[in-house]
Amino acid sequence: MRAYVLRDAALTKYAGQFAWLSIDSDKPKNSAFVEKFPIQGWPSFLVIDPTAEKIALKWYGSATAEQLAKLAEDGARAMKGGGEGAEAALARADLLNADGKPGEAAAAYREAIQAGGPQWPRRECTIESLVMAYQFARKQEDCARAATEFAPGMSRGRSFCNVLYFGLECAVGGGQADWAKNAVGQLRPLAEQAVRIQSVLGDDRAQLYATLLDLYGREKDAEAGKKLSAEFLAFLDEHEKTAPSAEARASLDSYRVMMAMRQKDPARAIPALQASERDLPNDYNPPARLTTLYNTMGRYDQALAASDRALARVYGPRRTSLLQTRASIYEKKGDTAAARRTLEEAIKFASTVPKGERQVESLKKQLERLK
């Protein structure tokens, strides 16, 4: 988002209407903000009412510049209240969603869609909000049914892609239930269209590629999986060559690692990650991902060296998982004493992070096993 969307000149007209603030939720200095305004995933966009100090609108995931502008306007509308018909229902839904009541928000989003009708300008973004609200409310069947109800009639753009992503995730989560199998059957061919829409942001296409590959694996459809894997790898290679900046290129590094591991060829992703580490010297993610790859390949000394570089840059709860990985590398090398010391360090650090981010029990179990 920062590399592609937030630089868009179309957003400059909103500069004076909102105080724009970027929060890195991993940094300890931002813990008070995160506790006051909790989020469910990254990236998330919040419109905060400065008077009430409450979230007026919460949006999870990426967005185009046009969608982000509409979200800003919707947040302002939610703060003001009032209105009638679809706009009033949308404002109410956004407030309920921001207040951590996704089930109630879903009902209001449906009301807004019904009141707005087929030509309502905010229809598709509201459908996207509806499907996400059902997922966050853990109403998987409602989520999948909403996706199958609305996706076929949507224009082929970002909202279409994301409705299919969330709808498929919910349908797959339903296992062997009849409603789940029916939803997968309807959503799969639409998702196979959506990953090929050139105008959709790379992040959104990549996450849908990954969801489809998981689905093919569950269905044991090896032929479809092989074909889509080749297509996804080509997509990642093209993105690496054409990305407008190092930050933009690195935005899909996690998928490069995922695919290299799936192909049982971890070395494939190493050049891209080395380039990201060189071009983004303050980012801990490239050396952390290199640690994973080298560890998988049995190149333990290189894994420890990459781990050193990642730990020198990391901050917040991610440090715990990096230390846990480092301990496993020491264990594979046969250095049990170093593995124990590293786990003890991880346990000590984990006790200092916010409760929701702690991994103390799993670390203690790993340490006990080594003892």
pLDDT in tens, 35-54: 777 766 667 777 777 777 77
Q: Quick one: pLDDT at residue 362?
A: 84
Characterise 229 by phi-psi region: left (phi > 0), alpha (psi -120 to 50), beta (else): alpha
Compute the average pLDDT of residues 273-279. Answer: 97
Give the closest residue to 150 by CA, choosing from 129, 172, 181.
Answer: 129
- Give, in words, the CATH class of 1-138: alpha beta
Q: Quick one: pLDDT at residue 72?
A: 72
Q: Quick one: pLDDT at residue 17?
A: 67
Tell me the CA distances in angstroms from 325 to 86, 269, 290, 309, 311, one per residue in order: 50, 19, 12, 14, 11
- Higher-confidence residue: 27 or 224? 224
Q: Quick one: pLDDT at residue 10?
A: 63
Beta bridge partners of 90: none
Is 58 a residue whose pLDDT tops 80?
no
Confidence of residue 5 (pLDDT cuts 50, 70, 90): low
Least reliable range by pLDDT among 98-102, 109-113, 260-264, 329-333 = 98-102
Tell me the CA distances in angstroms from 111 to 56, 80, 281, one per residue in order: 19, 19, 49
Q: Quick one: pLDDT at residue 15?
A: 66
* Cβ atoms 73, 83 nearer than 8 A: no
- Read off the tokens for 244: 């407008």
Compute the average pLDDT of residues 21-48. Answer: 72
Compute CA 310 distance to the chain's CA centroid, rounded to the nearest angstrom.
21
Is 1 a residue whose pLDDT tops 60?
no
Q: Quick one: pLDDT at residue 67?
A: 66
The span from the CA of 280 to the CA of 96, in Å, is 39
Which of 101-105's residues contact partners 24+ apart within 8 Å by CB, and which partners? Answer: 102/132, 102/133, 102/134, 102/136, 102/137, 103/133, 103/137, 103/139, 105/129, 105/133
Q: How do 44-49 and 54-60 pair as beta strands?
A: antiparallel
Q: Quick one: pLDDT at residue 346?
A: 92
Q: What proportion of the chain, given as a percentage, has pLDDT over 70?
A: 87
Least reliable range by pLDDT among 4-13, 184-193, 202-211, 326-335 = 4-13
Is 82 a residue whose pLDDT tops 60?
no
Least reliable range by pLDDT among 81-85, 169-173, 345-349 = 81-85
Q: What proportion of the chain, given as a percentage, has pLDDT over 90?
A: 64
Helix (H, G, I), strand (E, B) or coil at 177: coil
Average pLDDT, the chain: 88
Tell me the CA distances in angstroms from 236 to 96, 166, 205, 241, 267, one per residue in order: 38, 22, 10, 9, 15
The span from the CA of 53 to the CA of 46, in Å, is 12
Torsion (CA) 284, 287, 290, 292 in degrees, nearest 10: -50
Q: Quick one: pLDDT at residue 44?
A: 72
The span from the CA of 275 to the CA of 250, in Å, is 9
Give the closest residue to 183 by CA, choosing from 135, 219, 141, 246.
Answer: 141
The set of residues, in sequence order, having a beta carbon less than 8 Å from that of 125 and lying 6+ positions away, is 67, 70, 71, 159
- Higher-confidence residue: 299 or 26? 299
Q: Quick one: pLDDT at residue 350?
A: 86
- Read off the tokens for 273: 């990650």
pLDDT in tens, 177-226: 999 999 999 999 999 999 999 988 898 999 999 999 999 999 999 999 99
The set of residues, in sequence order, having a beta carbon less than 8 Å from that of 364 and lying 6+ positions away, is 347
Place of tokens 């703060």: 79
- Read off the tokens for 102: 């996704």
Q: Quick one: pLDDT at residue 56?
A: 72
- Domain ranges in the chain? 1-138, 140-219
